[in-house]
Structures are given as structure tokens and as C-alpha cells.
Amino acid sequence: MFVMAITFYHYPKCGTCRKAKKWLEEKGIEVNDVHIVENPPTKDELKIMVENSGLDIKKFFNTSGKKYRELNVKEKLPTMTEDEALELLASDGMLIKRPITTDRKKVTVGFKEDLFEQNWK
């Protein structure tokens, strides 16, 4: 049986990430764990994820994070180019909404059980 390689970008202390990982484990889905702060996705990886997700780049920002508020990203984002937004995201894993789950084609950001059902079972 072919097992697709799923990369799971997460922050171990994040409750949502733990719920998502538990869901994947219960379904028997093996993932390649990547600590989003220690090894954030590169600008190029993020660009591909944004394109494949069909989501607006704004959805990739951790809007409830301290770093997001400290850098006043909410004010700056509307005038940023996509390139600048990707650069900013890649600069700090704490700015990225998590978890990000991807198989290089599909991408989910955050954890919603119904979305995981559609994409990862």
C-alpha cells in the first residue's frame, strides 16, 4: 500500500497541534513532524503551500500570537506584497498559524476535524 508522505508543521506546546496530531495518529496516518519554531518552512515552501491551499496568505498568520501583535502585522499586512508577507512568515515560526499539514499537494492550516476528514483520511 502506498503511504503518502505528510509533513506536519507544529509547535509541541500548542493544544490545537496536539489535538490534530492525536487525530492523525488515531487514523493511523504517519507524519513527518517538523517543529515550526526550530525549523520554520522556507519562503519558497510557504509560497507553494499558499498556492496549493487556495487560501489567502493572511490565513497563514497566527493572528492570536504575541509576535503578530508585537510586530503590528495586522496594520502592515494589507499594504504588503505577497513576497514581503512570505518573507515575514518565513522569518519566524511563531508568526505562522499552526499546525500546517501538507502532502505537497493538499494543505490544511489549523485544525478543524471536518477539514481533516476531507483531506487526510
Domains, the chain, ranges and CATH? 6-120 (3.40.30.10)
User: How big is the CA angle at 52 (ends 89 and 84), to the nearest 5 degrees?
Assistant: 25
The predicted model scores a pTM of 0.93
Q: What is the pLDDT of residue 4?
A: 61
Cα-based torsion angle of the residue sequence 89, 79, 55, 87 in order, rounded to the nearest 10 degrees: -20
Digitized pLDDT (tens) for each residue of the chain, 121 residues in all: 445 689 999 999 999 999 999 999 999 999 999 999 999 999 999 999 999 999 999 999 999 999 999 999 999 999 999 999 999 999 999 999 999 999 989 999 999 999 999 999 8
Length of the chain: 121
Q: Which of 9, 82, 66 is nearest to 41 (CA)?
A: 9
Tell me the CA end-to-end span of the chain in Å, nearest whole number. 14
User: How big is the CA angle at 71 (ends 19 and 55), to the nearest 5 degrees?
Assistant: 50
Q: What is the pLDDT of residue 121?
A: 84
